[in-house]
Chain A
Amino acid sequence: MQKDKQNDASWQSSVNEIETLIREYGNDVLRTAYMYVKDAHVAEDIFQEVFIKVYKNLSTFVGNSSIKTWIIRITINTCKDYLKSAYNRRVVPMTDYREDAISTESDYDEVEKRDTNHLIKEAVLSLPAKYRDVVMCVYFNDMSIAETAKVLNIAEGTAKSRLARARQKLKDVLEGRVSDEF
C-alpha cells in the first residue's frame, strides 16, 4: 500500500513535469509536426505520441542537449516514422485555407500580412524534405548548426550546405512575391 502511494506520487510528479513541458514546447512540437505531415489532425496525433514518448523516456534524458532539442528530435523522428508508413504515403492531406471576409482598410493590411505569412509557410512546405528539415531546425526551432546536424543525424558541413541551398530556393520562390517590409 505504501509502495503504491509512493508510485502514485512519483507518477503525479512526472505528469506535472510533462504538463509543464507541453505548455512550454507544445506549440513548437505541434507546428513542427504540422510542417511535416501537413494535416492538423495527424499533427495532433503526433503531438500526443511525442509527449507520451517524452513521458516514457524522460528518465533517460541525460542533458547532452537542451530538452527542447531533445523533444524536437523525437518529434521529427515520429513524423518521419509516420511518413514512412506505406499507407500514409498514399494519402496526401489537404489543408484548408480559411479566407475571412475583408471589411476595412486595416483588415486589408491584415489580410495582406496573412497572405505573406501563408506564402512563406507554403514556400517552406514546398521545399524538399532535406532542406525543409534544416530550415525548421535552424529558423523555427532556433537550433544551432551543430544541434541541427545532431538532430538530423548529418554532418555539420552537410547541414550548412543544405541550409544554403534551402535559402536559395526560398529566395527563388519568395523574392518579388512578398512585400518589401523585410
Chain B
Amino acid sequence: MSFDKKSNKFDLDKLNLKDRLNASLENEGISVSDDLINRTLDAIKNQKVDDLDHLKDNDKNFKPAFILRKTRILVSAAAAVIILLVGMSAINLLSSDKKQSDEYAKYNYSGSSEKADLAPQITMESDVSESILADDEMKIASDEYDLKGKNAENGEDLSKQKGVGEDNINLTSALTVNEIGFAEIASIEAGDVKSVSITSVISGKTVMFSDKDRINQFYAKMASHSFIRETDGKAEGQYIVEITGQDKVSKIVIGKDIIEADLTDNEIASHSIYSAVDYNRLAEELDYLLQQ
C-alpha cells in the first residue's frame, strides 16, 4: 500500500500503523479476553432462548389473534343482520301506520270492534311472520301490530327473503312489492269458504259451487292473479264474485279498471278498492269457470 510517496517524506506505510495501533491498544488492555468471548457466547445463547421465547409468545398470541379476527367477523355480521332487521321493522312500522290511518278512513265501522279483524288478511305467511316475530328486534318494533296482515298489505314476499315457507309462497311468490293476492281481496280463507258464486254481468250467467275441491281449485286459479290497492274509483262491474264463509260474506265486483270488495263480518262491513294487474287474463279465467 503506497500513496503519494514522492511528495511526502512522512510515509504512513512505513509507519506500520496497524502494528503500532495494536501495540498501543493491547497495552491499554483493549484485547479480547476469554472472559469476553465466554460472555459473548452466553449472550448469543441467551439470544437463542429469547428468540425461542419470542416464537413461543408468537405461537401463544397467534390463537387469540385468530379467534379475535373470527369474533370480529361474526360480531360484524351479527350487527349487520340486526341493523337490517331493525331497518325492516322500522319500514314496516312506518308503512303500517300510514295504511292504518287510510283504512280507518275507508272502513265503515259499526262499532268499536278490533281493527285486526277488519284488515284484509292473508294466511300463507303465518310461519314466516312467526319466525320473524321470534326475533327480539322485530318484536320491539312491531309489538302491537299484526304482522300477518301488515306484511300481506305491503305485499312483501317475506318467504322469499327468509328462504323458508315453501308451502306458503304459492300465493305470494308471483307478487311484486306493491301487489296483493286474491286471498287478501276475498278476506276469507279457502278453508272457511262455504260457497262461491260467480256471475257475469254481461251474459247474466251465474255459477255457484260449494264443493271443497272446487273451492280450492277456484282459489288456486285466483292465486295466479295479482291486484293493486287503489284509493278511489268505482267498478263498472263485469263480474261479481260472492264468497260466503262461516261468518263472513265477501262480495267482489270486478270491473275492467276497478275492483270493489265489500266484506261483511257479522255486524262489521268494510269496503276496499283494487285493480287487477292483468284484467284480461282474469276475465278469461272467470269466463272459463262460468262455462264449467
Contact = CB atoms under 8 A, between A and B. Distances in A.
Interface of A: 11, 15, 18-19, 22-23, 26-27, 29-31, 34-35, 40, 43-44, 47-48, 51-52, 55-56, 95, 97-98, 113-114, 116-118, 120-121, 124, 135, 138-140, 142, 160, 163-164, 167-168, 170-171, 174-175, 178, 182
A117 B23 contact: yes
A40 B27 CA distance: 12
Contacts of B18: 139-140, 142
B114 interface: no
B77 interface: no
B288 interface: no
Contact of A31 (B4, B25, B37, B47): B25
Contacts, number: 116
Interface string B12-26: 101111101111110
Q: Which secondary structure characterizes the binding site on chain B?
A: helix
Contacts of B10: 167, 170-171, 174-175
B32 A139 contact: no
B234 interface: no
Contacts of B202: none
Given A139-B12, A139-B21, 11 more contacts: A19-B37, A22-B37, A30-B32, A30-B36, A47-B32, A47-B40, A48-B36, A52-B43, A55-B47, A121-B20, A139-B17
Range, interface on chain B:
35 or more
18 contacts: A18-B44, A19-B37, A27-B22, A30-B30, A31-B22, A31-B30, A35-B25, A40-B29, A48-B36, A48-B39, A52-B47, A117-B27, A120-B15, A121-B21, A140-B18, A167-B12, A168-B8, A174-B15
Given A22-B37, A48-B43, A174-B10, A120 B21 contact: yes
Closest 8 CB pairs of A and B: A26-B32, A117-B24, A171-B10, A121-B24, A139-B17, A182-B14, A117-B20, A117-B23
B45 interface: yes
A164 B14 CA distance: 15
Contact of A124 (B21, B27, B32): B21
A74 B37 CA distance: 18
A182 B11 contact: yes
A76 to B, nearest CB: 16
B3 interface: yes
B44 A52 contact: yes
A175 to B, nearest CB: 5
A31 B15 CA distance: 18
Nearest to B4: A164
Contacts of A31: 21-22, 25, 30
A171 B25 contact: no
Contacts of A47: 32, 36, 40
A15 B28 contact: no
Nearest to A122: B24
Contacts of B30: 30-31, 34, 40, 43
Nearest to A31: B25
Q: Which of A43, A178, A182 has the most CB of B within 10 A?
A: A182
